[in-house]
Every structure is written in structure tokens, then in C-alpha cells.
Amino acid sequence: MRYPRDLHGYGATPPDAAWPDGAHIAVQFVVNYEEGGENCVLHGDAASEAFLSEIVGAQPWPGKRHWNMESIYDYGARAGFWRLHRLLTESAVPVTVYGVATALKRSPAQVAAMQAAGWEIASHGLKWVEHKDMEPDEERRQIAEAVRLHEIVTGERPLGWYTGRCSENTVDLITEYGGFAYVSDSYADDLPYWHEHDGKHQLVIPYTLDTNDMRFATAQGFNSGDQFFSYLKDTFDVLYAEGRAGAPRMMNIGLHCRLAGRPGRIAALGRFIDYMKNHDKVWLARRIDIANHWVRAHPFREHKDRPSQLSEEAFVSRFGGIFEHSEWIARRAFADELGPANDTAIGLHAALTAVFRSATEAERLRVLNAHPDLAGKLAQARRLTENSTSEQVSAGLDALTDAERARFTQLNSRYVEIFGFPFIIAVRGLSKDDILAAFERRIGNDHKIEFNTACRQVERIALLRLSRMLPN
């Protein structure tokens, strides 16, 4: 099985975002414009809308208009949008709009105001409806129609995309469609990243569902503007501190006209904007600005050397010797679940070690016996594997005095006689004296303890070998 989800991402050392002017944080405000694009029988839908409104526990009404739901969405277009527009423009905050194509078409005055303010208008899909059960061909059709209608309404093709109520295929379909500077149907990171699909690549700028006013309309959400402000402030403070310490991130803030556009909520948003603007080195940007920066600072680079993407023979050829003369470990790991998390030294080591630890005691004993004696006859005859040769040379075992060689020979013979397998230690970084001291200490162990100790050393040797081949 090849596990498609990437649970590793950037790992412990994400790249330096290198935001303009050395900013500690990039802050991005999104206004979701969905009013007039939601589920409604007037729009040809089977039922009324039931998502993100003041009506707690709303359910779709099949075949009927839901007057209260419609009027809540109407409020967003008629009043909430303009309140948000005033606050954001007067505060000189750059904005990206996630615009549902059919909603934009029904709101010409609002679109004109967005454009006059210099807001980016990204696509939020054709309609504000669920896509989870949509067949890929139908979703393709709707993506194409959304782009076509968006260009008619705004005069420009959208460069950003966010479905929101997406399917498992959405990001791949956007990558396949092409022409988008970014897609935001992901909540997977605090930084942009590259997605690959079928030989193409697509920049992903993750979005957020936590620093988002939608939590005013969800269980365990915000009950007051103070809670919204406090959560935004805490998020900003943590990310700003991380950026000041050398790891700049991105903060997304999601707004909806019918939610944050209410008087009792927008005041909190205003307080947060004032708080944020009291800090220096804050980059306020549209999503398209972030995309353009990321392409320049961190362009896509093809990764051809990913273990999880290799053929079986290529995988075994490359990693079959990580556990000495035991390529069956690599074959079993290849046959098991591998994914992006296994494309690093630590990740692949975990996969190989899982096979080793799951093996029978007899199989593990064969692995131990596949290792050569330290400074033994195979080393003298130059018949060690390349890895073992390099490791023994690194510890100076190729340059022993006669007395040292005699001591190693004596200890090797005694150790094998006691335990039935050669003495194994990860020698890289150790001196001859360190190795001899460990030898003499461990030779006094009982058999079970020493068998387990040797197995742990085999695993450590494997990690050291992988660390020279793959990123950590």
C-alpha cells in the first residue's frame, strides 16, 4: 500500500519563508462571498441551505424555500459586506475574496467595490454546495464553468481557488485543470507547500477553520466578539514570536459577510486589526501576493529520489544492504505501507526497523550473524561490504597495532563462543578505546540482554547508513 497522506510535511525544520522586508509573520484576510450561491430551490437545488448561519441545527428543506435562511444570507450581501468593506478599506488591509461565481454574478455592486479596493477575487467554486459526493467528471465540469463565469463577471480569470465544501478529488482536479497560482483546499500547514499529481505540480496555500468567524455558527465556537478577538490575538502572538525567533509563518483569517459583518462581531475584528498594526515586521498580503512570493523564494523542485515512489527492484537495490546482507527486510518493507513520511532517513528507518522487530527470533539471529567480526579476517581480506568497510575505517579499525588486533581477535572468539553471534556495535563516532570498553562490558551480559542489545545496535547502524543517503 502506498499511503497518500503526507504526515511529515516540512518536519522539524520548515523552510525560512523569507517574507518581504524580513517580516516575522504574513497575515492574510479572506472575505468569503457566498450570498446568492448557496443551496436554494431558486438556484435549481433540491433543498434549502443549512450551513453557516444563525439558525442552530438547521436542516435542508427538500423542495422548499427556507425564508429565514435566505434572509440571513441576504443580510450578508445587503449589509454585512458593506460593513466589512468599510472596515477593511479604511484600515488599508489587503483582502482576498473567495467568490462563488454564481454569487458574484448576482452582486454587481459588491464586485465593483471589491475591484475598486484592489481586492483579489479568487474562485470559491461555481455554487456554494457540497462536493463530497460529486463525480470527478461533474466536478471538472463545474470547475470549468466556474472559471468561465468568473471571467465574465469580473473580467479576469481567477488565479486562486478554494472550494471549501470540497471532495477528495478537488486539489488533484485543480492541479489537472492548470492555470491557478494556488489552491487553498487544505488546512495542513502554516506555510505554503507544493502538491504533485499525475506529473503536474500545484502550489497550495493552506487556509484555516480556527481563526475563522464560521465558529460563531458551530458548536464549541465563539459566543462573543471578545472570544473571537482573544483567539485571533493569541494566534497572532504565538506566530509572531515564532517568526521573531527565526521561523516566520502565515496567519489566515476567514470572514463571512453574514457572520463577521454583524455589528456585535465586527467590533472585535476592528480591535484585532488595531492590535496587529501596533507591531512592526508584519506583512499584510493578498493570497496571490503570497503565491507570487513563494514561487520566487521556494520554487518547485522535482524530487525523484523518494523511497516510497521507487519500484521494488530499485528499492531493494538501494536499501537492501541497510541491514547487513538481509535484503528480505527491504522487500517486506516495500510490500507494506509506505508514504511520504517514509521518504526521510528517520521515516524509512522506521519502516525497515518495523520489519526487523516483527521478524522471528531466528530471522533476527540470521541478521546478527550476517555482520562481520570487528577487525576480523574478512576485514583483513578486504571482503567487507562497502558500508562495513567505511564504518570500521571511521573508527580506525583498519590501522590496529599487533597488540590491539590480538585483543580484538581474542574478544571476538570469546564473544561468539558465549552468544553464538558476532559482537555488533555502531562504531561511527567511536574510538578504538570506546569500542574495546563496550566489548569488555557487554561480554558479561546474559544472553537475552545481549541479544536485545545487539539488535538495537543493528538498528542504530541502519539509521546511520540511511542518514548518509536521505534527508532527516
Task: Look at the block and give the residue holding cell 517486506.
Answer: 332
> Which run of H or of E encompasses 58?
none
Rounded Cα gap, residues 251 and 27, in angstroms = 5
Rounded Cα gap, residues 311 and 420, in angstroms = 36
Rounded Cα gap, residues 305 and 320, in angstroms = 16
Q: What is the biggest distance separating any 2 CA atoms in the chain, rounded to whole angstroms?
A: 96
Total count of residues recorded for the chain: 472
Calculate the CA 382 to chain-centre distance. Answer: 45
- Which residues fall within 8 angstroms of residue 176, CB to CB, at 6 or more apart? 140, 197, 198, 200
Question: Which value, in Å, is the radius of gyration of the alpha carbons in the chain?
Answer: 30
- Which residues fall within 8 angstroms of residue 26, CB to CB, at 6 or more apart? 17, 19, 248, 249, 250, 251, 283, 284, 285, 290
Rounded Cα gap, residues 118 and 33, in angstroms = 16
Q: How far is CA 387 from CA 129, 138, 320, 391, in A?
A: 57, 54, 12, 6
Rounded Cα gap, residues 298 and 322, in angstroms = 32
| 174, 143 contact by CB (below 8 A) | yes
Based on the residue annotation, tell me whether 124 is a catalytic residue of this protein: no
Rounded Cα gap, residues 356 and 236, in angstroms = 45
Give the three cell numbers for residue 135.
463525480
Q: What is the DSSP letter of 47?
A: B
Q: Which residue among 195, 197, 371, 447 is the active-site one?
A: 371
Rounded Cα gap, residues 171 and 169, in angstroms = 6
Rounded Cα gap, residues 191 and 182, in angstroms = 13
| 81, 103 contact by CB (below 8 A) | no
| Closest C-alpha to 291, from 401, 386, 206, 173 | 206
Helix, strand or coil, per DSSP, at residue 202: strand
Please identify every residue annotated as catalytic: 371
